[in-house]
Every structure is written in C-alpha cells, then in structure tokens.
Structure 1
C-alpha cells in the first residue's frame, strides 16, 4: 500500500491540504429522473449526477424552489440531452448557483422563453410596457453564478431573454442614475477562483452582460465559446410614437451623460445587450482563447482586471461601443475583428501601458456610423494591425486609427480632431479642458485605415500603409507600401 504524507499549511484565512501522491475522490453514480431530484442531488458532494435526457420546464418546481443551488463539491453533473425551459417571469433567482467547488456541469440546453411564445422582440414600445412577463429582469442579474472555486461549465447552450429597458443601447443608463429604472438579465457571473467556461454557446437577447467577472475572480479561463447578442438601427426609435414608448416619453432626445439633450443619433446601431466578456475591478487573471463575440456593446472588455490578461485566437464582430479593451500589460495574440458599428480597439484609462496587440482586420462592408477604427492612448504599447487576405474594400469608410484623444466614444468620430456638427456645446462642457497623451507607442499598420496622431501624442513610432497625420510633429512616422 502506498504511503500518503499529509501536509497541512495554516494561514490566517485559509487551510490548504495537499497530498504527496495523487488521491482520487471516489464519486458515486447517481441517476436522477426529474428536476426535483436534480435540485436535491447538487447540494451533496462526490457524485456523478446524470439527469434523464428529455424536455423539462422549471415551473414543475414550486415557485420558491426554482434555483439549483450547487452547494456540493466534486460533482460531475451530466445534462447531455437535457432541455430546460425557464419562462420569463417565473423565476426569482439564478438558475444555477455554484457555491461549491470543483464541480463540472456538462451539456444541457437552457432557454429563457416568453410566456406568449414570442421569440424575437419587434415591437419594443409595447414590450417595455409589459414588466410582468416580458421586460422582467432577474434578481441578482445572472442566470448562472460561479462563486465557488475550480468549477467548469462545459458544452452548454444558454438563451437569455427578458430585461428592462430593452432596445435602446445605453441610452437610458446602465447603472445608478439611470433614467427609467433597470431590470437587467445577464448570462453568467463569475466571482470565484479557477473557474472555466469551455465549448459553450450564449444567445443573449436581453440587456445585461453575457459573461462577467466581479469580486475575487481570478484564474478565469473562457475558451472555445460563442457569444451572440443583438443590435438594431437607431432610426427605428423614431417609429415609436405611442405615448408609453420610451423615445417619445423623452422627446426623442438623449436623457443622460455627455450627450444629454441631443437628439437620438441617426444612422448608427444600438446594442441590445451589454458586454460579451467583461471584467470589473477584479484582482486576478483572465484568459480568453478561441472565442467569438458578435453584436454586443463591448466584445472582450477586460481593461479593469488587475491580473494578467491574455486574449488568444479570438474574434470580435459587429460590436457597438468597442471590440477589444485590455488592461496594463494585456496581450492580444492572433486575434481578429471588424469595426462595423464601433471602434475595434478602445483604451479607457489615460495611463494604460505596455499592451501587446496582434490584430487582423476583417471586412465590414455593412458598416454604419461615423466612429473611428481604433482609439489608442497611454504609453509603451506594441501594436500590429494587419489586413485579412481578401479582395475588395476593407470598409465603406476609411476610419482613422486615433492616437491620443480628448473624448469618449460618443464624440470620437471620423471628424477627428474636429467635433461632430451639433455636438460642440456638449463636448466643451464635458471634454474641452481634457488632454489625453500617447507616448512611446509603436504601431505597424498594414491596412489602408489612416493614422491620426493627436496634439498631445509624442515620441511614438508609426509605420503605416494608410496615410499618417501627425498633429504634434514630434513622432517618428514612416509611410510604407502594402
């Protein structure tokens, strides 16, 4: 018999137990045949739980028992061949809440459905006036929560529906100080350590983040996953003419922020969801690999993470506010994307530094709006922007790569360094006295997009196929051939 040596290490907060040789935990096979049995099983540990394949509806359970609190640990939860319907308006809390650790949920299709059978929202005015079974939201926001450590969600498909307001992008607010009240509906919240999302699909048809990280999230891995939101033309809001419709209630004007009082912008896209993959002020690391994010507010938005950030072999398409946004030292390796409805690269913090970006631009002949291609500031970045191998125009507009800029995305347009017509007063009020610098940044631009170096940009090194404009005259620039 092999001898086992037990080491116990005490710290003020944690107890770690490790073994010299690998010791496998024996798991008991546990078949379950209904949702009630599944709900009970996931509160215990060391099991292989298999739910009988078939179609289920959460209303089979009592109203106060419609959340699966996975408080057990070391479980494998096999839901292959299982479909669970979560009708909007019938659930008070998260669908699956992983408070235990080292669990693996594998397989399963989870769909939030409207009780009237509707699949897609077309009448946004009447939708937002039905706060009971349509624009309902969800307590705590997220359908899946991973607060325990070392959990894996693998091979699921989740469709999210039902939020208020829905259909207007960020116009009515995204947090405190909103104009209408908020009832968000998100897909997955990660707050624990060492959690993994692998080979999943998220169809997000609600206002809220798809996958987001908060609190103590660390060592998060999101890979082989597809995320799709929805967008709609801003012009459609002017067709909402009933008294209860939100655009009419606010006289078709922007009610908040730097654009307050301006007319709802025309000929742009509104995102109907929030961000595809989002990190808030977390202490830890995030790795995103082989993922695709389509039609969200922000695509892969990790600028607030404090740990190591790597985005590898991933693609962002048709996002509205930004495609990628990294933190200090963040790396983007062999990634792709387009700037169809908003900038593909956007840097939030003024002093962000030392990003490494390797990005291939995909065509966007369907692009609308007067946004820029990229907004770059800070210090010490190494950026290579490449053109994918395709024939024809990369875009219907040659959007600038702006280096150093004094504005948020609403005012950062193809008019740069000018301000969009009609926006001058708002710009002066919010950004007229601010100067954002860009220093010691190296960019190689192999696309026809032009590069504009702002007045506060200096000591940068730019090689570009697209035309270079240096408003500071103190940068190293070189025009290169395609």
Structure 2
C-alpha cells in the first residue's frame, strides 16, 4: 500500500463506520468517561477547560482496573467505532495525579478500534513525577485516527540532566519517566499533532505498532548546556558530585563542560515490539514531521516492514537522525547541538538529507557517522554554511554510548558505502572502511582499503 493513500483510505472507513452514529453532546469528564466505554457514537464535547481531578476521585481510582501489563488509565477509550470531537477543549492534568495508581499510568488510553479523536489539548500542570512512569496518550487500538491533538507534557524525575543520570540499569537517581504518545496498534494514523515536552521521556514513539503513519506532526523538547548543570549549587546532579553514567573522552564518568544536552528522549522513536501482547513492530512512515531540541530527532530502525521518513526536519537535537534500514527522502536538519546523522550496521539505509545549519555554540565532534554495509547516503547543503563549524563525515564510525556527545566515538567494519557529499565538509574514512565510493566537494582523508574518491 502506498503510505500516502492511508489518510484517504482511513477517511473512507470512518465514513462507512459512522453513517449511523448518534451525535451526543457532553460537558463533563464524567460523561466523557461513560461514552468512551460505549460504541457507535459521535461525541461532541463543549469547548472549555476541564480539570482531570474533578473526575478522578478516590472512588474512580479504586474501581479502575489495569491492563495486562499493569498500566492504568485515567480515561480509557475502550469502545469501538466512535468519533470524539474536542474542538476548543483543554483538559488539565495536575501532575500529582500521576502517582495515584501507584503504578504506570496513561492519562488517556485508546484500546478500542476505529476510534477518531480530534481537536484535544492536554496540559500537565506542575512537575510532580509519575510513580513509576507512563504516557500522556497510549494508542493501542487498531484503525485509530488521532488528529489535531496537542500535548503539553511534564511530570518526570530526574529532569534537567537528560539521560546523564541514567535511563536504565545503574541509575544515579530514581527514574520516573513521563512520555508523550505511544502507538501500539495496527493502521493507526497520527495527523497534525504536536507534543511540547518538559519531561524526561519520548515524545512520539511506536512499540508494536504496524502500518503507523505520522503526518504533519511536531515534537519539541528543551535543551540545556552542561555548563549550566555544573553551575548548580543543589539538585540531583549536585548531590552525586556531578557524576554521569557515561564516560567522557578522558574515561571519567562525570558531566563534562562544553556540551548541550536535551532534557528529553527522542522526538520520534521506534522499538522492536510492544503493547500488552509484545507484538513485533511493523511499517512506520513519517511525512512532513519535525523534531526540535530532542535527544534524537528520528530514531527509526527496520524490524519487519518498510520505514520511510519524508519531507521532515530535525533541528537542535543531540542527534538529528539515527537510522537502521530506513529510507529518507527530501529531509533536513542541522548540527547545532550534535551530529546530523548516524547510519548503523544492519539493514541497508537509503538517505537523502540537507544540512541547514552548522552554527554550533558548544562542542560537536562530527557532521555524520556511517557504519555498516551498502548504505546510500546523500548530504547536501541549504543556506550559508561558511560561518559555522567545519566538521567531518566519518565513514566506519559508530555513535558513542547512548549517543552521548561527550562520550568517545566507536568504529565498525564498513564497506560498500555510496556517499555523495555536497556540503563542502570533509570526509574521513578510517582504517576499517573498504570498497566505499565517495563523491564529494570537500577534502578527503582515506585510511581504508580500496575506497574510490571522486571529486565533484
């Protein structure tokens, strides 16, 4: 199926499903929760600002049941064949509520099929961390359409240091993540949605989703320099003497000055599987999407089916694009806070990117790192790059631990790469590179074997 046809097909399906739907007007979250569990209706909520705490009483909490993997929902859309029109509606969630279930929690959880949610704004109030993690939105049903939904996310710990205090085992501080929107279903479409996150967690991400389409979506995080972290006189980093879980170039596990970190995780992210049944992730497409100030703009890797990024952009990220087995068309990004691109070993990637800025105020070590076999990568430039930093494209080079900017780069045997470099930036082929073809308008250093250099 042509991914660009998905919105038209979904539109036809929704028209068929809802020809006989009943229009119901509501003006409270209690009514919303009631009809979210029923099927075959069009629900129109009166414009206004609603408070989740007015609905999520002790009785509601006590009677709420988790899903099969112990995730609770504040409001669960379990009904099928429904349309929810939230135009003009904002639901505010006091972040104190993120801990009332004493488990993982989703503010909104769509488990029903053929559900269309449009026009909703969700705003987290305060910064009380989740009890043990969770999402603002979980989309687990099939044939779900989320349209013009905006999430303002907060409520995590630690916050203010990115992943430097840990994000898995051996954390230096207790981890309580709060992510944005998780997609787990089949044929789900996310259109014209935006997430603004002031929490440690992913923004848009796929775990077990198949044939997922993101179109015209925007993910924005927050950046902070390591110098500002080191200037603190209290806080979680201060309490551990500014230790980090990652080694720097000197082999020390400390927060290192001179770098910029995102306070969030990825703007758009894929995992190998997920959901209550641990289903393998399938095809994912992102068209005209943008990530700003996130740890990685687009972290996509092929699991089973085709992965496409088209007409998209990553700016201000620690890494713009981190790819395995992905096709990228007509997309762009910068190297202001970190590399534009890493292409990794594994499935073959075909990448077409434009570098739009090299105006970095803090330390960045390279424009791109490419490792593996038979990737095709074209990097051109847009705009004036004469006043910024000159950084190399490195062939045979892998990303540092967790893509952390102040950690040392790695290397891996690399062959058969076709690189077209139109940025004017230098290219470096290391000793483990071989049989690569480099078409370039920049300087080349070749320490590899049987590489072909063509000056453009």
Structure 2 counterpart of 1:332: 328
Matches within 5 A, 1:153-192: 153-192=146-185
Q: Assess, with a 3 A threshold, how the Cα gap between structure 1 residues 257 and 137 changes in structure 2: closer, same or farther.
A: farther
The answer to whether structure 1 residue 137 and structure 2 residue 130 are counterparts is yes
Q: Assess, with a 3 A threshold, how the Cα gap between structure 1 residues 153 and 478 changes in structure 2: closer, same or farther.
A: same
Structure 1 counterpart of 2:337: 341
The answer to whether structure 1 residue 263 and structure 2 residue 261 are counterparts is no
- Which of 417, 439, 446 aligns to 1:463? It is 439
- Which of 45, 51, 54 aligns to 1:51? It is 45
Cα displacement (A) at 1:135: 4.2
Which consecutive unaligned segments of at least 5 residues does structure 2 have?
1-12, 62-72, 274-280
After superposition, what is the alpha-carbon deviation per residue over 1:406-448, rounded to whole angstroms, capped at 9, x for unaligned?
A: 66268998xxxxxx9xx8xxx6xxx9xx851111110110012
Matches within 5 A, 1:270-281: 270-281=261-272
TM-score, structure 1 as length reference: 0.81
Cα displacement (A) at 1:87: 1.1
Structure 2 counterpart of 1:27: 21
Contact 1:284 1:305 in 2 (8 A): yes
Matches within 5 A, 1:282-431: 282=273, 283-303=281-301, 305-320=303-318, 322-328=319-325, 330-348=326-344, 351-388=345-382, 390-393=383-386, 396-405=388-397, 408=400
The answer to whether structure 1 residue 69 and structure 2 residue 76 are counterparts is yes
Distance 2:189 2:129 in 1: 29
Cα displacement (A) at 1:72: 0.2
Q: Assess, with a 3 A threshold, how the Cα gap between structure 1 residues 463 and 354 changes in structure 2: closer, same or farther.
A: same
Moved more, 364-373 or 228-237: 364-373
Which consecutive unaligned segments of at least 5 residues does structure 1 have?
1-18, 115-133, 414-419
Across the aligned residues of Structure 1 and Structure 2, the Cα RMSD in angstroms comes to: 2.3
Structure 2 counterpart of 1:230: 222
Cα displacement (A) at 1:258: 7.3
Distance 1:44 1:257 in 2: 53
Contact 2:230 2:257 in 1 (8 A): no
Structure richer in strand, relative to its length:
2
Contact 1:184 1:208 in 2 (8 A): yes
Q: Assess, with a 3 A threshold, how the Cα gap between structure 1 residues 401 and 94 changes in structure 2: closer, same or farther.
A: same
Q: Assess, with a 3 A threshold, how the Cα gap between structure 1 residues 406 and 226 changes in structure 2: closer, same or farther.
A: closer
Distance 2:416 2:51 in 1: 57
TM-score, structure 2 as length reference: 0.86
Structure 2 counterpart of 1:204: 197
Contact 2:360 2:389 in 1 (8 A): no
Q: Assess, with a 3 A threshold, how the Cα gap between structure 1 residues 407 and 219 changes in structure 2: closer, same or farther.
A: closer
Cα displacement (A) at 1:25: 5.3
The answer to whether structure 1 residue 240 and structure 2 residue 232 are counterparts is yes
Contact 1:70 1:97 in 2 (8 A): yes
Structure 1 counterpart of 2:106: 94
The answer to whether structure 1 residue 81 and structure 2 residue 96 are counterparts is no
Distance 2:293 2:267 in 1: 9
Distance 1:270 1:440 in 2: 33
